[in-house]
Amino acid sequence: MNGASSASQTLEITANAGVVQARQRVRALAQQCRFSLVEQTKLITAASELARNTLIHGGGGTMTGGLVEERGRRGVRLVFDDRGPGIPDVDLALTDGWTSGAGMGLGLSGSKRLVDEFLLETVPGQGTTVTVTKWAR
Amino acid sequence: MTERVPILQIGNVLLVSIQTDLDDQSVMLLQDELAAEVVETGAHGVVIDITAVDIVDSFVGRMLATIASISRLLDAQTVVVGMRPAVAITLVELGLSLGGVRTALSLDKGLRLLERARAESLEEPEPDAAAGPGADGVGPDAAAGL
Ligand SMILES: Nc1ncnc2c1ncn2[C@@H]1O[C@H](COP(=O)(O)OP(=O)(O)O)[C@@H](O)[C@H]1O
Ligand SMILES: [Mg+2]
Protein backbone atom coordinates (compact mmCIF):
# COMPACT_ATOMS: atom_id res chain seq x y z
CA MET A 1 0.00 0.00 0.00
CA ASN A 2 1.98 2.95 -1.20
CA GLY A 3 2.43 5.91 1.01
CA ALA A 4 -0.85 6.21 2.85
CA SER A 5 -0.25 7.92 6.17
CA SER A 6 -0.35 6.12 9.47
CA ALA A 7 -3.73 7.62 10.34
CA SER A 8 -5.38 6.24 7.23
CA GLN A 9 -8.51 4.15 7.46
CA THR A 10 -9.86 1.41 5.24
CA LEU A 11 -13.46 1.25 4.08
CA GLU A 12 -15.12 -1.75 2.45
CA ILE A 13 -16.86 -1.04 -0.84
CA THR A 14 -19.08 -4.04 -1.42
CA ALA A 15 -22.46 -2.41 -2.11
CA ASN A 16 -23.92 0.91 -3.32
CA ALA A 17 -23.84 2.20 0.26
CA GLY A 18 -20.06 1.84 0.23
CA VAL A 19 -19.81 4.40 -2.57
CA VAL A 20 -21.87 6.87 -0.51
CA GLN A 21 -19.67 6.20 2.53
CA ALA A 22 -16.55 6.74 0.44
CA ARG A 23 -17.83 10.18 -0.57
CA GLN A 24 -18.55 11.05 3.07
CA ARG A 25 -15.15 9.85 4.24
CA VAL A 26 -13.35 11.82 1.54
CA ARG A 27 -15.38 14.95 2.33
CA ALA A 28 -14.23 14.72 5.96
CA LEU A 29 -10.60 14.25 4.92
CA ALA A 30 -10.73 17.16 2.46
CA GLN A 31 -12.18 19.42 5.13
CA GLN A 32 -9.57 18.30 7.65
CA CYS A 33 -6.94 19.25 5.08
CA ARG A 34 -8.64 22.67 4.60
CA PHE A 35 -9.25 22.24 0.88
CA SER A 36 -11.10 25.03 -0.88
CA LEU A 37 -14.70 24.26 -1.81
CA VAL A 38 -13.75 23.64 -5.44
CA GLU A 39 -10.81 21.36 -4.56
CA GLN A 40 -13.05 19.49 -2.13
CA THR A 41 -15.73 19.03 -4.76
CA LYS A 42 -13.20 17.77 -7.30
CA LEU A 43 -11.71 15.21 -4.92
CA ILE A 44 -15.08 13.87 -3.72
CA THR A 45 -16.26 13.56 -7.33
CA ALA A 46 -13.10 11.65 -8.32
CA ALA A 47 -13.51 9.38 -5.29
CA SER A 48 -17.11 8.70 -6.19
CA GLU A 49 -16.11 7.59 -9.69
CA LEU A 50 -13.25 5.39 -8.48
CA ALA A 51 -15.31 3.84 -5.67
CA ARG A 52 -18.02 2.97 -8.19
CA ASN A 53 -15.42 1.35 -10.46
CA THR A 54 -14.13 -0.70 -7.52
CA LEU A 55 -17.68 -1.92 -6.90
CA ILE A 56 -18.97 -2.39 -10.46
CA HIS A 57 -15.89 -3.38 -12.44
CA GLY A 58 -13.70 -4.72 -9.63
CA GLY A 59 -16.48 -6.72 -8.00
CA GLY A 60 -15.98 -4.92 -4.68
CA GLY A 61 -12.90 -3.89 -2.75
CA THR A 62 -11.63 -1.22 -0.41
CA MET A 63 -10.79 2.46 -0.19
CA THR A 64 -7.98 3.45 2.12
CA GLY A 65 -7.73 7.16 2.73
CA GLY A 66 -5.63 9.46 4.82
CA LEU A 67 -3.81 12.75 5.08
CA VAL A 68 -0.26 12.89 3.74
CA GLU A 69 2.54 15.34 4.20
CA GLU A 70 5.43 15.53 1.77
CA ARG A 71 8.05 18.22 1.32
CA GLY A 72 6.01 20.67 3.34
CA ARG A 73 2.81 20.04 1.41
CA ARG A 74 -0.37 18.64 2.89
CA GLY A 75 -2.80 16.56 0.94
CA VAL A 76 -5.24 13.67 0.84
CA ARG A 77 -4.25 10.29 -0.60
CA LEU A 78 -6.81 7.63 -1.51
CA VAL A 79 -6.11 4.05 -2.54
CA PHE A 80 -8.85 2.04 -4.27
CA ASP A 81 -8.06 -1.64 -4.32
CA ASP A 82 -9.83 -4.67 -5.72
CA ARG A 83 -9.11 -8.30 -6.62
CA GLY A 84 -11.28 -8.15 -9.73
CA PRO A 85 -10.57 -8.95 -13.39
CA GLY A 86 -8.01 -6.16 -13.89
CA ILE A 87 -7.84 -3.90 -16.95
CA PRO A 88 -6.41 -5.51 -20.11
CA ASP A 89 -5.88 -2.27 -22.03
CA VAL A 90 -5.12 0.66 -19.74
CA ASP A 91 -4.81 3.28 -22.51
CA LEU A 92 -8.20 2.34 -23.86
CA ALA A 93 -9.75 2.38 -20.38
CA LEU A 94 -8.35 5.90 -19.87
CA THR A 95 -9.93 7.18 -23.09
CA ASP A 96 -12.74 9.69 -22.56
CA GLY A 97 -16.06 8.03 -23.25
CA TRP A 98 -14.79 4.46 -23.46
CA THR A 99 -16.73 1.95 -21.37
CA SER A 100 -16.77 -1.84 -21.38
CA GLY A 101 -20.21 -1.72 -19.82
CA ALA A 102 -23.03 0.76 -19.78
CA GLY A 103 -21.26 3.67 -18.09
CA MET A 104 -20.33 7.10 -19.40
CA GLY A 105 -16.68 6.11 -19.71
CA LEU A 106 -15.54 9.21 -17.80
CA GLY A 107 -14.67 7.73 -14.41
CA LEU A 108 -11.01 6.95 -14.97
CA SER A 109 -10.11 9.72 -17.40
CA GLY A 110 -12.20 12.32 -15.56
CA SER A 111 -10.95 11.48 -12.08
CA LYS A 112 -7.38 11.62 -13.39
CA ARG A 113 -8.01 15.25 -14.39
CA LEU A 114 -9.57 16.07 -11.03
CA VAL A 115 -6.57 15.08 -8.89
CA ASP A 116 -2.87 16.02 -8.82
CA GLU A 117 -1.39 12.53 -8.87
CA PHE A 118 -2.93 9.44 -10.41
CA LEU A 119 -1.39 5.97 -10.38
CA LEU A 120 -3.14 3.01 -11.98
CA GLU A 121 -1.73 -0.45 -11.29
CA THR A 122 -3.54 -3.41 -12.72
CA VAL A 123 -2.84 -7.04 -13.48
CA PRO A 124 -5.33 -8.90 -15.66
CA GLY A 125 -6.88 -11.68 -13.63
CA GLN A 126 -5.55 -10.31 -10.38
CA GLY A 127 -6.96 -6.90 -9.65
CA THR A 128 -6.66 -3.15 -9.84
CA THR A 129 -5.26 -0.50 -7.53
CA VAL A 130 -5.77 3.19 -8.20
CA THR A 131 -3.90 5.65 -6.00
CA VAL A 132 -4.77 9.33 -6.18
CA THR A 133 -3.41 12.35 -4.32
CA LYS A 134 -4.64 15.90 -4.17
CA TRP A 135 -2.59 18.61 -2.48
CA ALA A 136 -3.99 21.57 -0.59
CA ARG A 137 -3.30 24.82 -2.44
CA MET B 1 -31.32 0.93 1.35
CA THR B 2 -33.16 2.66 -1.47
CA GLU B 3 -34.35 6.17 -0.81
CA ARG B 4 -37.41 7.61 -2.50
CA VAL B 5 -37.21 11.26 -3.49
CA PRO B 6 -40.65 12.91 -3.37
CA ILE B 7 -42.02 14.22 -6.67
CA LEU B 8 -44.32 17.22 -6.26
CA GLN B 9 -46.76 18.47 -8.85
CA ILE B 10 -47.40 22.20 -9.14
CA GLY B 11 -49.82 22.90 -11.95
CA ASN B 12 -48.30 21.38 -15.06
CA VAL B 13 -44.83 21.10 -13.59
CA LEU B 14 -43.21 18.26 -11.67
CA LEU B 15 -40.75 19.37 -9.01
CA VAL B 16 -38.04 17.28 -7.46
CA SER B 17 -35.62 18.56 -4.87
CA ILE B 18 -32.66 16.34 -4.08
CA GLN B 19 -31.82 16.78 -0.40
CA THR B 20 -29.61 13.81 0.47
CA ASP B 21 -26.58 11.98 -0.91
CA LEU B 22 -28.39 9.34 -2.99
CA ASP B 23 -26.88 5.96 -3.76
CA ASP B 24 -26.91 4.78 -7.39
CA GLN B 25 -30.01 2.65 -6.96
CA SER B 26 -31.98 5.58 -5.56
CA VAL B 27 -30.82 7.70 -8.49
CA MET B 28 -32.14 5.09 -10.95
CA LEU B 29 -35.41 4.84 -9.03
CA LEU B 30 -35.86 8.60 -9.26
CA GLN B 31 -35.20 8.50 -13.01
CA ASP B 32 -37.80 5.77 -13.55
CA GLU B 33 -40.42 7.36 -11.31
CA LEU B 34 -39.99 10.76 -12.93
CA ALA B 35 -40.45 9.31 -16.42
CA ALA B 36 -43.59 7.47 -15.27
CA GLU B 37 -44.96 10.63 -13.62
CA VAL B 38 -44.43 12.71 -16.77
CA VAL B 39 -46.53 10.20 -18.70
CA GLU B 40 -49.18 9.86 -16.01
CA THR B 41 -49.68 13.55 -15.31
CA GLY B 42 -49.01 14.89 -18.81
CA ALA B 43 -46.77 17.48 -17.18
CA HIS B 44 -45.09 19.87 -19.60
CA GLY B 45 -42.19 20.67 -17.34
CA VAL B 46 -39.82 19.00 -14.91
CA VAL B 47 -37.71 20.96 -12.44
CA ILE B 48 -34.85 19.22 -10.66
CA ASP B 49 -33.52 21.30 -7.80
CA ILE B 50 -29.90 20.42 -6.94
CA THR B 51 -29.23 23.39 -4.65
CA ALA B 52 -28.42 20.99 -1.79
CA VAL B 53 -26.31 18.64 -3.92
CA ASP B 54 -22.59 19.07 -3.32
CA ILE B 55 -21.26 16.74 -6.00
CA VAL B 56 -22.56 15.54 -9.36
CA ASP B 57 -20.57 12.62 -10.76
CA SER B 58 -21.04 10.87 -14.11
CA PHE B 59 -23.82 8.67 -12.74
CA VAL B 60 -25.99 11.54 -11.54
CA GLY B 61 -25.00 13.55 -14.62
CA ARG B 62 -26.25 10.79 -16.85
CA MET B 63 -29.52 10.64 -14.89
CA LEU B 64 -30.05 14.37 -15.46
CA ALA B 65 -29.34 14.02 -19.18
CA THR B 66 -31.57 10.96 -19.49
CA ILE B 67 -34.51 12.64 -17.77
CA ALA B 68 -34.07 15.62 -20.07
CA SER B 69 -34.19 13.43 -23.19
CA ILE B 70 -37.08 11.29 -21.97
CA SER B 71 -39.17 14.34 -21.14
CA ARG B 72 -38.34 15.92 -24.50
CA LEU B 73 -39.74 12.83 -26.21
CA LEU B 74 -42.85 13.17 -24.09
CA ASP B 75 -43.25 16.84 -25.03
CA ALA B 76 -42.03 18.17 -21.69
CA GLN B 77 -39.03 20.34 -20.80
CA THR B 78 -36.53 19.69 -18.02
CA VAL B 79 -34.69 22.40 -16.13
CA VAL B 80 -31.98 21.71 -13.57
CA VAL B 81 -31.83 24.51 -11.02
CA GLY B 82 -29.40 25.59 -8.33
CA MET B 83 -26.20 23.97 -9.56
CA ARG B 84 -23.36 25.17 -7.32
CA PRO B 85 -20.42 26.85 -9.05
CA ALA B 86 -17.97 24.26 -7.67
CA VAL B 87 -20.17 21.50 -9.11
CA ALA B 88 -20.27 23.17 -12.53
CA ILE B 89 -16.48 23.61 -12.59
CA THR B 90 -15.95 19.98 -11.58
CA LEU B 91 -18.43 18.63 -14.16
CA VAL B 92 -16.60 20.35 -16.98
CA GLU B 93 -13.25 18.96 -15.84
CA LEU B 94 -14.78 15.51 -15.45
CA GLY B 95 -15.74 15.78 -19.11
CA LEU B 96 -19.51 16.04 -18.81
CA SER B 97 -20.88 19.06 -20.61
CA LEU B 98 -24.57 18.20 -20.06
CA GLY B 99 -25.23 19.96 -23.36
CA GLY B 100 -28.83 18.81 -23.66
CA VAL B 101 -29.78 19.90 -20.15
CA ARG B 102 -31.28 23.33 -19.51
CA THR B 103 -30.17 25.01 -16.32
CA ALA B 104 -31.33 28.00 -14.31
CA LEU B 105 -29.77 29.64 -11.28
CA SER B 106 -32.86 29.51 -9.09
CA LEU B 107 -36.18 27.71 -8.81
CA ASP B 108 -37.97 30.91 -9.68
CA LYS B 109 -35.94 31.44 -12.84
CA GLY B 110 -36.37 27.78 -13.76
CA LEU B 111 -40.14 28.00 -13.53
CA ARG B 112 -40.18 31.15 -15.65
CA LEU B 113 -37.95 29.49 -18.24
CA LEU B 114 -40.46 26.64 -18.48
CA GLU B 115 -43.37 29.05 -18.90
CA ARG B 116 -41.59 30.85 -21.72
CA ALA B 117 -40.58 27.59 -23.42
CA ARG B 118 -44.18 26.41 -23.23
CA ALA B 119 -45.55 29.64 -24.66
CA GLU B 120 -43.09 29.47 -27.55
CA SER B 121 -43.82 25.84 -28.34
CA LEU B 122 -47.57 26.57 -28.43
CA GLU B 123 -47.00 29.30 -31.00
CA GLU B 124 -45.20 26.91 -33.33
CA PRO B 125 -47.27 24.97 -35.85
CA GLU B 126 -48.11 21.36 -35.03
CA PRO B 127 -45.38 18.92 -36.20
CA ASP B 128 -47.93 17.31 -38.61
CA ALA B 129 -48.51 20.61 -40.37
CA ALA B 130 -44.79 21.30 -40.62
CA ALA B 131 -44.20 19.65 -44.00
CA GLY B 132 -45.45 22.68 -45.92
CA PRO B 133 -43.30 25.45 -47.41
CA GLY B 134 -41.40 27.57 -44.94
CA ALA B 135 -41.00 24.79 -42.40
CA ASP B 136 -37.46 23.63 -41.74
CA GLY B 137 -38.50 19.98 -41.60
CA VAL B 138 -37.11 17.59 -44.18
CA GLY B 139 -40.42 16.80 -45.86
CA PRO B 140 -40.83 16.20 -49.62
CA ASP B 141 -41.39 19.94 -50.18
CA ALA B 142 -38.19 20.88 -48.39
CA ALA B 143 -36.25 18.47 -50.56
CA ALA B 144 -37.84 19.88 -53.75
CA GLY B 145 -36.69 23.34 -52.78
CA LEU B 146 -33.00 22.41 -52.99
N1 LIG C 1 -11.43 -1.41 -10.93
C2 LIG C 1 -11.58 -1.83 -12.19
N3 LIG C 1 -11.49 -3.16 -12.50
C4 LIG C 1 -11.65 -3.58 -13.78
N5 LIG C 1 -11.91 -2.77 -14.82
C6 LIG C 1 -12.02 -1.45 -14.58
C7 LIG C 1 -11.86 -0.90 -13.27
N8 LIG C 1 -12.01 0.44 -13.35
C9 LIG C 1 -12.25 0.71 -14.64
N10 LIG C 1 -12.27 -0.40 -15.39
C11 LIG C 1 -12.47 -0.49 -16.85
O12 LIG C 1 -12.23 0.76 -17.43
C13 LIG C 1 -13.38 1.20 -18.14
C14 LIG C 1 -13.51 2.72 -18.04
O15 LIG C 1 -13.81 3.09 -16.72
P16 LIG C 1 -14.58 4.45 -16.47
O17 LIG C 1 -13.81 5.52 -17.16
O18 LIG C 1 -14.83 4.60 -15.02
O19 LIG C 1 -15.94 4.26 -17.27
P20 LIG C 1 -17.27 3.44 -16.87
O21 LIG C 1 -17.15 3.03 -15.45
O22 LIG C 1 -18.38 4.42 -17.10
O23 LIG C 1 -17.32 2.26 -17.79
C24 LIG C 1 -14.53 0.44 -17.54
O25 LIG C 1 -15.62 0.32 -18.46
C26 LIG C 1 -13.88 -0.90 -17.21
O27 LIG C 1 -13.82 -1.72 -18.35
MG1 LIG D 1 -16.65 4.30 -13.93
The complex scores an ipTM of 0.93
- Give yes or no for B99 touching A (CB within 8 A): no
- Beta carbons within 8 Å of B34's beta carbon, 6+ residues apart: B7, B14, B16, B46, B67, B70, B71
Is residue B135 over pLDDT 80? no
Q: Are A114 and B55 in contact (CB under 8 A)?
A: no
- What pLDDT does residue B129 have? 52
Is the CB of A28 within 6 Å of ligand 1? no
To test the ligand 1 pocket, which listed residue (A100, A114, A130) has its Cβ within 8 A of the most ligand atoms?
A100
pLDDT digits (tens, 9 = 90+) for A7-66: 789 999 999 999 999 999 999 999 999 999 999 999 999 999 999 999 999 999 999 999
Q: Are A38 and B89 in contact (CB under 8 A)?
A: yes
Reported pTM = 0.90
Lowest pLDDT segment from A46-60, B60-74, B116-130: B116-130
Structural domains for chain B? 7-124 (3.30.750.24)
Q: Are A74 and A68 in contact (CB under 8 A)?
A: yes
Is the CB of A46 within 6 Å of ligand 1? no
Q: Ligand 1: distance of its center to the CA of A22 in Å?
A: 18
Residue B106 amino acid letter: S
Q: Are A101 and A57 in contact (CB under 8 A)?
A: yes
Structural domains for chain A? 4-135 (3.30.565.10)
Give which of A15, A11, A38 is closest to A25, Cα–Cα. Answer: A11
Angstroms from B118 CA to nearest CA on chain A: 31
pLDDT digits (tens, 9 = 90+) for A79-131: 999 999 999 999 999 999 999 999 999 999 999 999 999 999 999 999 999 99
Angle between helix B58-73 and helix B24-41 axes, rounded to 10 deg: 10
Tell me the chain A residues in contact with residue B87 when contact means C-beta distances shorter than 8 Å.
41
Give which of B115, B64, B56, B109 is closest to B85, Cα–Cα. Answer: B56
Find the angle CA(A9)-CA(A12)-CA(A13) to the nearest 5 degrees: 130
